[in-house]
């Protein structure tokens, strides 16, 4: 088995297993902590609401923030494992000699799309920071969460750029089904 393109859970990945495992570990632990905190918030809110008639102030916004953080913590690991959604409807219609180029071109378009999403998130976070916008019920500014979302998109762009550089060699591997 090549050290460059290893197996990860039985599936081929573009990045080496050590990098994928490191990203899984880092973001997985962080996501686990956030999920635990979400469970605590919901538990405190439910107990407070139904037993003491005193719900947790701002629990809905805490849950919204936690869910956003949870989703965007998982995003880099999903991208690194190459488990993002891919639609290959027209792949069989493309002639085999052109197929590799089309796959690389499609992957490059994906990198550009994610980079645009990162840029839009950066602009949005900057506008939140400049305006001082806050959550409705919590005395917390919006911009840290928006910058966090931007940072996760930026990490995805870096991962995808590394994958794009490695992608042509990955496609040449005979175990890839081509």
C-alpha to C-alpha distance for 78 and 81, rounded to whole angstroms: 5
Helix (H) or strand (E) holding 139: none
Distance, CA of 43 to chain centre: 27
Is residue 1 situated within a structural domain? no
Is residue 82 situated within a structural domain? yes
- pLDDT over 70 at 163, yes or no: yes
User: Does residue 7 sit in helix, strand or coil?
Assistant: strand
Among 17, 132, 26, 135, residue whose Cα is nearest residue 75: 26
* pLDDT band of 138, cuts 50, 70, 90: confident
CB 126 within 8 A of CB 149: no
The total domain count for the chain is: 1
- pLDDT over 50 at 140, yes or no: yes
Residue range of the domain that includes 142: 7-176
The predicted-structure confidence for 10-50, as pLDDT tens digits, reads as follows: 456 788 888 888 888 899 899 999 999 999 999 999 999 99
Backbone angles phi, psi at 11, to 5 degrees: -110, 145
* pLDDT band of 174, cuts 50, 70, 90: low
pTM over 0.75: yes
- pLDDT over 60 at 6, yes or no: no
Is residue 34 situated within a structural domain? yes
Is residue 87 situated within a structural domain? yes
CB 142 within 8 A of CB 128: yes
Is residue 2 situated within a structural domain? no
C-alpha to C-alpha distance for 96 and 117, rounded to whole angstroms: 32
């Amino acid at each position: 088995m090549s050290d460059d393109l290893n197996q990860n859970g039985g599936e081929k990945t573009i990045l080496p297993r050590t990098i994928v495992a490191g990203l899984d570990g880092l973001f997985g632990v962080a996501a686990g902590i956030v999920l635990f905190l979400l469970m605590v918030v919901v538990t405190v809110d439910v107990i407070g609401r139904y037993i003491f008639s005193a719900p947790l102030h701002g629990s809905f916004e805490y849950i919204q923030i936690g869910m956003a953080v949870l989703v965007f913590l998982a995003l880099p690991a999903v991208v690194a494992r190459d488990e993002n959604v891919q639609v290959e409807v027209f792949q069989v219609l493309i002639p085999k000699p052109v197929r590799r180029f089309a796959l690389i071109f499609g992957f490059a378009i994906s990198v550009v799309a994610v980079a645009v999403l990162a840029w839009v998130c950066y602009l949005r976070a900057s506008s939140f920071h400049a305006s001082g916008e806050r959550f409705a019920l919590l005395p917390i500014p919006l911009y840290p969460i928006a910058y966090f979302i931007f940072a996760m998109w930026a990490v995805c762009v870096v991962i995808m750029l590394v994958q794009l550089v490695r992608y042509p060699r990955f496609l040449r591997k005979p175990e890839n089904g081509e």
